[in-house]
Copies of this chain bind each other. A is one copy, B any other.
Amino acid sequence: MSHNSFGKNLVFTSFGESHGHTIGCVLDGFPPGMEITPEEIKVELRRRATGQSRHTSQRKEKDDVHIVSGVFEGKTTGHPIALLIENTDARSKDYSDIAEVFRPGHADYSYWHKYGIRDYRGGGRSSARETTMRVAAGALAKKWLKLHHDIEIRAWLSQLGDIELSKGDVSVRDDNPFFTGDTERIAELEAYMDGLRKSGDSVGARIDAEAIQVPAGLGEPVYGKLDAELALAMMSINASKGVEIGAGFESVAQAGSVHRDEIVSGEFQSNHAGGILAGISTGQPITLSVAFKPTSSLRIPGRSENIHGEPVEVITKGRHDPCVGIRATPIVEAMMALVIMDHVLRNNGQINSGK
């Protein structure tokens, strides 16, 4: 597996930098014969796009996705599907003041120490811009899972800073800029975000997600467990600091007699397992939760150093989100879809090949 790929039977590879000419991805191993249009992909891309409310970065990307291979006469061919998006709003500007400075909490520092090279124009490869391609590829996986297995995947904001939200009606989560089904609290969220923006500070977010109608039997013990691969997928998203499956960290203080999900009349009585036992899906909804840290791009000065080891004070100007975690919602969905679809194919590549 290369550094910029994941998956086994369905393999996703992304490339491109935040301020480069083009970003793109290759989705390899996709079954032939599924109809797909750029418009279907754009629906998902718009959910992730910045610049759609005052609560996200004002960078405006058209996200005009091109399917350059793997689709012929509107259908997937079984060959690698390459998707390309041109960066249209990668503003050229004067970077001289930050070109040699490590912004606190940023990739700058670790990238420099690894590669000895830095793309001072923006995050380069570490920018959340890369996640655009995950959402694009995820659109195909979501469609395929729905079409062939009626599997549905949905994520929502469950915590913003210290505001905890209920799941509410997730079907309306796309109608507000917070991906919340807890619609009564939208005004509170807006006020909170306005306050953050005014202060120049930022805050983290917690995203919950579920996949429903997932059949029992997906997941490959013991190092391709469904929960383990979901954990990798979630932790690979920018700013992610934690992943839980089912009851997660709450299970530490639970009694075993409470945690175990009993079955009565063929029905599970709870879902502390999050739909996964021993790395394999049980048929219950797969549930997970991801923690996203607050962005470190702040208007509040931070102490750091430059590439010469000299002390500097850093203030980030320009476009940024006071809470990057919110927009991670469609990315979480996309990653979940890609992982689960890969596991459907992997299961077919062993179990359904003859018992």
Q: How far is the CA of A266 from the CA of B311 in the complex (A)?
A: 8
B222 and A3 contact, CB distance less than 8 A:
yes
B248 and A291 contact, CB distance less than 8 A:
yes
**Interface residue? A259 (CB, 8 A):** yes
In the complex, what residue of chain B is closest to A86 when comparing beta carbons? B68
Can you offer 21 A-B residue contacts whose CB atoms are under 8 A?
A3-B80, A4-B223, A13-B13, A14-B222, A16-B82, A24-B68, A31-B351, A34-B354, A77-B125, A104-B261, A105-B277, A106-B277, A110-B281, A113-B282, A115-B351, A225-B236, A242-B245, A252-B291, A257-B302, A272-B293, A345-B353
Q: Chain B's nearest CB lies how many Å from the CB of A316?
A: 10
Residues of B close to A235: CB separation below 8 A:
225, 227-228, 230-232, 243, 245
A4 and B22 contact, CB distance less than 8 A:
no
Known: A110-B219, A222-B14, A253-B162. A115 touches B77 (CB 8 A): yes
Q: How far is the CA of A242 from the CA of B20 in the complex (A)?
A: 36
Q: Chain B's nearest CB lies how many Å from the CB of A141?
A: 12
B201 and A257 contact, CB distance less than 8 A:
yes
Q: How far is the CA of A25 from the CA of B222 in the complex (A)?
A: 13
User: Given B3, B115, B202, B349, which contacts A32 in the complex, CB threshold below 8 Å?
Assistant: B115
Taking A1-B8, A4-B80 as given, write out 16 further A-B residue pairs in contact, using a Cβ cutoff of 8 Å, ordered by the A residue number: A2-B7, A2-B80, A5-B5, A13-B26, A22-B69, A24-B82, A31-B355, A110-B281, A130-B222, A148-B354, A161-B253, A202-B257, A204-B252, A222-B236, A227-B240, A260-B296
Q: Chain B's nearest CB lies how many Å from the CB of A253?
A: 4
Interchain residue pairs A-B with the least CB separation, the first 6: A349-B349, A105-B260, A107-B278, A202-B256, A2-B11, A33-B355
A262 and B31 contact, CB distance less than 8 A:
no
**Interface residue? A119 (CB, 8 A):** yes
